[in-house]
Chains A and B, each alone.
Chain A
Amino acid sequence: MKHFFLATILAGAMSLPAYAADYTIIAPANPGGGWDQTARSLQTVMQQEGISGNVQVQNVPGAGGTIGLAQFASQQKGNANALIVGGYVMVGAILTNKSPVTLKDVTPIARLTGEYEAVVVPASSDIKTMADLVEALKKDPGAVSWAGGSAGGTDHIAVGLIAKAAGVDPTKINYIAYSGGGEALAAILGSQVTAGVSGYGEFEAQVKAGTLRLLAVSGPERIAGVEAPTLKESGLDVVVENWRMVAAAPGLSDEQKAAVSADIEKLAKSAGWQEVLKTKGWQDSYLAGDAFNAQLDKDVAATEGVLKDIGLVK
C-alpha cells in the first residue's frame, strides 16, 4: 500500500508541467519559525501560480539568520535561481553577532510581509494604559520586567526605544529574554512579568479573549479593528515594524535582477499569496526597488543606534 501511495505522489509530481526557473529558497532558520513558514508559503504559492515549477526550500539555521546569509552570499554568487528569506531580526543579529556578511552583500528584492509590535499586560494587572506603564518605568525601571523574544531582537529593540522615548536610561531596562514568542506569552499570562512585547499576532487571540490587555501597538497608525492606540498617540515617538523580505544572490546582472523582481512582484500580487497572508494573519507590506533599499538603509542605521543605547553593540 505504501508503494501504491508513493507511486501516486510520484505520478502527481511528474505530471506537473515544466517552468523556466527552478528556485531554491534558503530559510535561514529551523523548520517551524517565521522565516521557514514564509519560505514554505513562497514555495507553495510559486508552484500554484505557475511562477516556478520546482521550488526547493533549504533550512540553514543559526545565529539570527546570519549563518544562512553568509553561506548564501558566498555559495550562490551570480545564481539567479537562488533566494533567501530574511527580515528585521537579521538586521539586529548582523550587528550583535558582528557578522562579516551584511545585507549589503546580497541583492534585496522586496519586503513582503510586516507585523507591528504590541505592548500587553495581564488582564489582572493594575496597569491600565500606556501612561501607567511609562509612569511605573520612570519610577523604578528595574521593577518593570518585560518579557519578549531573544536579546537584541525586535522586541528588545522596541522596549529600548520605548524607554528612550520616555526619557528612561535604556541600559536600565529589565528585559527578560525568552526563546520564542510562546514562552514569553506563557510568562505574561502567568503574571510572572510586568509587561510583554511581541508581534501583535502572538497576542491577538489572548487579547480578543480578554486574558491580556493591549496597551499600544507600534505602527504609525492603529491596526484596523483594534481599539488600542499607537505608541505615538501615547506620547512615545516610536514606530517599529518587524518585516520579512526576500533577497537574491549577489553579483546578478541587471536583467537577472529584473527577472527575479518580476517573479516576486507577480507572486506578491497573486490571489494565492493574498490568501496565504489572510490565513497566516500576515500584513501585506510589499515594497520593492529603490524605495525598499532606502527604507532598509534607514532601518539599519536606526537599529544600530538603539542597540548601542541598550548596550548590546559597542
Chain B
Amino acid sequence: MTKGHHPSTATRRPDRAALFIAAVLAAIAGLIFWDVSRLAGAAGYSQVGPTTVPYAIACCLLGLAIWTAFEAFRGDFPERERQEVGPVIWIVAGLAAQMLLLNVAGFSIATGILFALTARGFGKRKLWFSLPLGIVLCFVVWVIFAKLLQLSLPAGPLERLFF
C-alpha cells in the first residue's frame, strides 16, 4: 500500500503534515475522553465497563500521537509523491453530486453524473459524451437491479418515464 520507503534523507525540518496527523490523533483521543466521561460507568458484574475500552483506546491514540510527532521532528516519515488535486476534486464533486441528487433526480441521473465526473477526473473531458453514456448505463443497471432483482434503488423522473 505504500510507494516505497524513503528513509529520512536530506531534510531535518519537522514534517508539517506529520505533525498535523499527530494533532488529529490527539484530538480524536480527546474526543473519546470527553464523550465517554459522561457515560454511566455502571458495569454490572464485570469491572470492565462500557468506558474502560474506549479509555484504553484513547490512551493508546495519545501515545501514538506523541510517537508520530517524534518521528515528524526526526523527519522519519516517507517522502510523498506530488498529488494532483484536480482529479480528486472532480471525483469528490461527483460523489457529492450523487449524494445530493439521489433522492431528487433518481438513481440513473445522480449516478450518471458521478460516472461522468469520475471519467472527467481521469482525463475524459468530453462531458457531452460521457454524461449521456453514464446515465444510459446507470439506467440499464437500475432496470436490472431495481426491476428484476427488486433491490430498492431510488427512482426519479427518468425511471418514472419508463416504469
Which A residues form the contact surface with B (CB < 8 A)?
6, 9-10, 13, 24, 56-59, 142, 174-175, 311
Give the complex CA separation of A24 and B45 in angstroms: 45
**Which residues from B are CB-within-8-Å of A311?**
42
Asked if B9 lies at the interface with its beta carbon under 8 angstroms from chain A, I say no
Asked if B148 lies at the interface with its beta carbon under 8 angstroms from chain A, I say yes
Give the complex CA separation of A13 and B149 in angstroms: 11
* Number of CB contacts from chain A to chain B under 8 A: 19
Give the complex CA separation of A142 and B44 in angstroms: 9
Q: A142-B45, A174-B44, A311-B42 are in contact. Are A6 and B148 (CB under 8 A)?
A: yes
- Shortest distance between the CB of B160 and any CB in chain A (Å): 12
User: In the complex, are the beta carbons of A13 and B45 less than 8 A apart?
Assistant: no
Max chain A C-beta neighbours (<10 A), residue from B144, B148, B150: B150
User: In the complex, are the beta carbons of A56 and B150 less than 8 A apart?
Assistant: yes
Q: Find the B residue at minimum CB distance from A25.
A: B152
**Which residues from B are CB-within-8-Å of A9?**
148
- Shortest distance between the CB of B155 and any CB in chain A (Å): 10
Which B residues form the contact surface with A (CB < 8 A)?
42, 44-45, 144, 147-148, 150, 152
User: In the complex, are the beta carbons of A174 and B45 less than 8 A apart?
Assistant: yes
User: In the complex, are the beta carbons of A57 and B148 less than 8 A apart?
Assistant: no
Give the complex CA separation of A37 and B144 in angstroms: 23
**Which residues from B are CB-within-8-Å of A59?**
152
User: In the complex, are the beta carbons of A10 and B45 less than 8 A apart?
Assistant: no
User: In the complex, are the beta carbons of A13 and B147 less than 8 A apart?
Assistant: yes
**Which residues from A are CB-within-8-Å of B152?**
24, 56-59
**Which residues from A are CB-within-8-Å of B148?**
6, 9-10, 13
Max chain A C-beta neighbours (<10 A), residue from B42, B44, B144, B148: B44
Q: Find the B residue at minimum CB distance from A27.
A: B152
Q: Find the A residue at minimum CB distance from B44.
A: A174
Q: Find the B residue at minimum CB distance from A60.
A: B152
- In-complex Cβ contact of B150 among A57, A142, A174 (8 A): A57
Give the complex CA separation of A57 and B146 in angstroms: 11
**Which residues from B are CB-within-8-Å of A142?**
45
Other A-B pairs beyond A6-B148, A174-B45, 7, CB < 8 Å:
A10-B148, A24-B152, A56-B152, A57-B150, A58-B152, A59-B152, A142-B45
Q: Find the B residue at minimum CB distance from A58.
A: B152
**Which residues from B are CB-within-8-Å of A175?**
44
Max chain A C-beta neighbours (<10 A), residue from B144, B148, B152: B152
Give the complex CA separation of A299 and B18 in angstroms: 56
- Shortest distance between the CB of B53 and any CB in chain A (Å): 16
- Shortest distance between the CB of A127 and any CB in chain B (Å): 19
- Shortest distance between the CB of A77 and any CB in chain B (Å): 15
- Shortest distance between the CB of B50 and any CB in chain A (Å): 10
**Which residues from B are CB-within-8-Å of A24?**
152
- Shortest distance between the CB of B45 and any CB in chain A (Å): 5
The 8 listed contacts between A and B (C-beta, < 8 Å) are A9-B148, A13-B148, A24-B152, A56-B152, A57-B150, A57-B152, A58-B152, A59-B152
Give the complex CA separation of A174 and B147 in angstroms: 49
Give the complex CA separation of A10 and B147 in angstroms: 9
- Shortest distance between the CB of B85 and any CB in chain A (Å): 35
**Which residues from B are CB-within-8-Å of A6?**
144, 148
Give the complex CA separation of A217 and B148 in angstroms: 43
Q: Across chains A and B, which 10 residue pairs bring their CB atoms closest together, nearest first?
A: A58-B152, A174-B45, A142-B45, A56-B152, A9-B148, A6-B148, A10-B148, A56-B150, A174-B44, A13-B148
Give the complex CA separation of A307 and B65 in angstroms: 41
- Shortest distance between the CB of B143 and any CB in chain A (Å): 9
- Shortest distance between the CB of A172 and any CB in chain B (Å): 9
**Which residues from A are CB-within-8-Å of B144?**
6
**Which residues from A are CB-within-8-Å of B42?**
311
Q: Find the A residue at minimum CB distance from B148.
A: A9
- Shortest distance between the CB of A29 and any CB in chain B (Å): 14
Give the complex CA separation of A85 and B111 in angstroms: 29
Give the complex CA separation of A58 and B144 in angstroms: 16
Give the complex CA separation of A79 and B150 in angstroms: 21
**Which residues from B are CB-within-8-Å of A174?**
44-45
Give the complex CA separation of A245 and B67 in angstroms: 54
- Shortest distance between the CB of A106 and any CB in chain B (Å): 19
Give the complex CA separation of A56 and B144 in angstroms: 15
Give the complex CA separation of A10 and B150 in angstroms: 12
**Which residues from A are CB-within-8-Å of B45?**
142, 174
